[in-house]
Amino acid sequence: MGLQVLRQRVPTLSLQTAALPPKVADPFYSSAAWIALRDRVRREARGRCQVQGCTQRGAIVDHIVELKDGGAPLERSNTMLMCTSHHAAKTAVERAKRTAWRPGGL
């Protein structure tokens, strides 16, 4: 005689969340001025991540001070080439700072 399994009486809870809308690229990043700056940064960095001590291939030209935080969009001094790991880490830190709860709502 085999082991019998009882039917589940309580339905399982769905933990699915709503799908995020597709990311839409800012038209700024298709502009001739940005593409020229992006290419310059990649060339000057010789294709390597510019985070001190990193030797990975650079993949993303990033604004040091993000545009959302008032960074200059086309200033060479506000851009650097980063590997995907360093870019993801920097983005997470900046996003956390921007969305952190502050006493008094400030």
Residue 72 falls inside a structural domain: yes
Residue 76 falls inside a structural domain: yes
Name the domain count of the chain. Answer: 1
Predicted pLDDT of residue 53: 96
Residue 106 falls inside a structural domain: no
Predicted model pTM? 0.73
Cα separation, 59 vs 61, whole angstroms: 7
- What range does the domain containing 67 cover? 48-99
Q: pLDDT tens for residues 63-94?
A: 999 998 899 999 999 999 999 999 999 999 99
Q: pLDDT tens for residues 12-39?
A: 777 777 888 888 889 999 999 999 999 9
Q: Which residues contact 65 (CB under 8 A, 6 or more apart)?
A: 71, 72, 78
Residue 4 falls inside a structural domain: no
Q: Which residues contact 81 (CB under 8 A, 6 or more apart)?
A: 41, 42, 45, 47, 48, 49, 50, 58, 59, 60, 61, 62
Residue 55 falls inside a structural domain: yes
Cα separation, 12 vs 47, whole angstroms: 50
Residue 78 falls inside a structural domain: yes
Q: Which residues contact 77 (CB under 8 A, 6 or more apart)?
A: 64
